Chains A and B, each alone.
Chain A
Amino acid sequence: MVERSLTADADELRTRARSLRIRILKMIHAAPAGHPGHPGGSLSCADIIAALYWGVLRVRPEQPDWPCRDRFVLSKGHAAPALYAALAERGFFPEEMLGTLRRPGCRLQGHPDMSKTPGVDMSTGSLGQGISAAVGMALGGKMDGKTYRVYTLLSDGELNEGQVWEAAMTAYKYKLDNLTAIIDANGLQNDGPISEVMPMGDLLAKWRSFGWGAVELDGHDVAALAAAFARPPAEPGQPRVFVARTTKGKGVSFMEGQLAWHAGAINDEQLAQALAELGCPSGGDGGAVS
């Protein structure tokens, strides 16, 4: 395992993260108003996704199934808008498609679907399952002597699922140092604060006790995230996890830290204010950055 050279500098990473947030907001605004998706958890991981797709992931938008590509599994599948925004901006599919999110007959499903959307490495949405698939991908890479890396992004609420810890044990047993898990630790889950719904205690200690290398990070310092993801694991043979401390709804003042924005519609006025805060004039083009 060697250090990956970063493919973007700090300025570009910050610009990309901002661009992802703008796309996320426009996409959810344009989606069917009844159930348009999950803004809060998509915005909280925008910097993480930007660090991955512009900092470290070796992928080929023109050849999405390139066998040697790095894999990314969005285990917290409800943050699909963040993933779709990155895939469109990287050129996996036309930007216009972002305006079709959740619409009948379209390819951008409410949760990621590997059969329908180019660049999606695993279908996810049922929490706790993506990390198991990521373990399988990392195992396959080891079996074949390939050097690709596998990254998977989970939410802190998702860690309630027992399957996550089953997968963690398997990664440790098989010494999957080609596997990196990232926790988007925004501190909120569907019913309320994590500390109330299901207290997770010391996350770093939990992961370490499962044999993983665990590091805590500021989940909104996109340059630091990219640098951390690019580094090889601290110990050969050890899977690693980054606990990224984030704010739900990050980047939009009235959404930040607000449980109400876990899922829900964004109206015209809210979109205009949110875009203004992100320094983007509002526009109804379904997701392209103005």
Chain B
Amino acid sequence: MTRPQVLADVYGKQLAALAAEDPRIVAVDADVSKRMGTHGGIGTQFPHRHINVGIAEQNMIGVAAGLATTGKIPFTGTYAVFLTGRAWDQVRQALAYTRLNVKLVGLHSGISVGEDGATHQATEDIALMRALPGVTVLSPCDPEETKQAVTLARDTDGPVYMRLFRPPARPIVPEGYRLALGKAPVLREGSDVTLAACGRMVALALDAAEELAGRGVQARVLNMVSIKPIDREAVVAAARETGGIVSIEDHTVVGGLGSAVAEVLAEAGVGKLRRIGVQDCFAESGDCDSLYEMYGLSTGHIVRTALQLIGRT
């Protein structure tokens, strides 16, 4: 598959495929099942295993928790901003504290959701989920990685948060790729600087690396799909072996990927870091490309930040 795909569609299709082989899998939605890909997937194939609680995210989490106590593996989700924000206490109390086996899928993360504006742009979801003990946080970058993330979530005991984004995603991971918890695959080798990106920003990091190569700078690109647990070894190695790390996320720089990388570097006592992301503010309505320019998330910003970090202009 070489054309860009909508990750929610990939999720819905893979969940239906897993549901066909695993009777424990159920889906719990909050009136967004057509966007989630669950309406036409598991909801059509196994209607009795698809629960739709209406516009009630808090109850959705509690219902999923109750189902998990009966041996089900509920996949539940809605827009990331409501899933992780509005229902945060429910995720904390009913899922994280209980360690129940529920999978959370957040759509439309980051400012790339665009025109709907700040109310619908989840720019704190990584920070919110990362703070919860025992919650695995995954931010896949492309269709294949998303497909594998659904399976990995099924096979990982306890709550897992999977962060998806709205614009169609182009294929990125190489043939034969295997997603693993706590691993940050190197997508491009380089020793001058490291671009550590997650989710949609991985594609932009690769584009930036290409542009940097044109200027004689070889950038290593790390795919930070596993934000929690984070790949400490890969981060420390990047800090030691390259001129510094630029963390890149469509998320606030407070508490997200950049913070996670900073924690690793500070504790290891190595490295230099620049954090690309939303700079502690709310964004606004607009098309994704314009917003990325306005809020410092474009390929050009990545290139300039990397060059500044290593003292090149």
Contacts and interface: CB of A to CB of B under 8 A. Distances in A.
B69 A135 contact: no
Interface stretch (A96-104, A163-171, A253-261): A163-171
A31 interface: no
A139 B59 CA distance: 13
Given A67-B71, A139-B51, A140-B70, A132 B65 contact: yes
A105 interface: no
B93 interface: yes
B8 interface: no
Contacts of B62: 129-133, 135-136, 163, 167
A122 B63 contact: no
Interface in A126-154: 126, 128-141, 143-144
Interface string B19-58: 0000000100000000000000000000011010110101
Contact of A174 (B51, B59, B64, B70): B51
B93 to A, nearest CB: 4
Interface stretch (B94-102, B238-246, B253-261, B263-271): B94-102
B58 A122 contact: no
A121 interface: yes
A115 B98 contact: yes
B98 A136 contact: no
Interface string A165-188: 011011001100000000000000
A137 to B, nearest CB: 4
Given A67-B71, A115-B99, A170-B56, A139 B63 contact: yes
Contact of B63 (A123, A135, A143): A135
Contact of B56 (A134, A143, A166): A166
B147 interface: no
B70 A141 contact: yes
A232 interface: no
Given A122-B65, A132-B61, A166-B56, A144 B70 contact: yes
Nearest to B54: A169
A125 interface: yes
A140 B72 contact: yes
Contacts of A131: 62
B66 interface: yes
The A interface is mostly helix, strand or loop, or mixed, namely helix
Given A132-B65, A137-B70, A143-B48, A123 B59 contact: no
B70 to A, nearest CB: 3
Contact of B66 (A115, A134, A163, A166): A134
A175 to B, nearest CB: 12
Nearest to A134: B66
Interface residues of B, number: 29
Interface residues of A, number: 35
A126 B93 CA distance: 7
Contacts of A114: 69, 98
Interface string A109-126: 000011100000111111
B68 interface: yes
Contacts of A279: none
B61 A139 contact: no
Nearest to A170: B53
B53 to A, nearest CB: 5
Given A123-B98, A133-B94, A170-B53, A163 B59 contact: yes
Contacts of A67: 70-71
A132 B64 CA distance: 8
B269 to A, nearest CB: 34
B93 A123 contact: yes
A125 B92 CA distance: 12
Contacts of A126: 89-90, 93
A162 interface: yes
A119 B48 CA distance: 29
Most buried by B among A126, A136, A137: A136
Interface in B92-129: 93-94, 97-99
Given A132-B59, A166-B56, A140 B94 contact: no
Interface in A192-220: none
Interface of B: 26, 48-49, 51, 53-54, 56, 58-59, 61-72, 74, 89-90, 93-94, 97-99
Q: Closest 9 interchain pairs by CB?
A: A136-B66, A132-B62, A140-B70, A166-B59, A166-B56, A133-B66, A136-B63, A136-B67, A137-B66
